[in-house]
Amino acid sequence: IAAFVLLFFAISGFALLRVLGIGLSAFRIAGGILLFLLAIDMVFARHSGLRSTTARETEEARGRNDISVFPLGIPLIAGPGALTSLLLMLSAAHGRLAAIGLLLGILALVLIITLTVLLSSSRILALMGETGANVVTRLLGVLLTALAVQYVLTGIRVGLLHGP
């Protein structure tokens, strides 16, 4: 599901933003804000609406224990950071097919690595322990917070210099 969402966004993301009248700077800022909220959840080990299901989603999933769509597929794998990064890197490719192909290849590799880690998660957690996993989550949350702030600052700077 995450691969489908990312591929769909790679193909139609710019057109979707154009139709909605959203500039790349505004999308960068919005992605940064959402990524910041997710990172705050990681740092303080709390669950907000970004990482937990709504009442209707919980009811629908009651018969099955499947978290593959939400929260794993969206927003943790194909979330604000991934979607924003993907569009920004595609924008930097300036339409060069080789660069776009390389980017999509790297995206596929990252998704394969992610799948491998998810399939090995019980062994990894057994090795790290609960405390180790929490330390890594909080550390990565701090780094993700800095990345999110950088997205917002860059979005503001680019938006002011070049317009929306």
* 92-120 pLDDT, tens digit each: 999 999 999 999 999 999 999 999 999 99
> The pTM is what?
0.80
The answer, yes or no, to whether residue 65 has pLDDT greater than 90, is no
**What angle is formed at CA 35 by the lines to CA 34 and CA 40, rounded to 5 degrees?**
100
Question: How many whole angstroms separate alpha carbon 133 and alpha carbon 125?
Answer: 7
Average pLDDT score over residue span 120-130:
95
> What value does the mean pLDDT of the chain take?
89
Report pLDDT digits (tens) over 22-36: 999 999 999 999 999
Letter for the amino acid at 57?
E
Residue 67: predicted pLDDT: 81
Q: Is the pLDDT of residue 54 over 90?
A: no
Do residues 142 and 43 touch, judged by C-beta distance below 8 A?
Answer: yes
Question: How far, CA to CA in Å, does 103 sit from each of 85, 99, 151?
Answer: 11, 6, 19
pLDDT at 30: 94
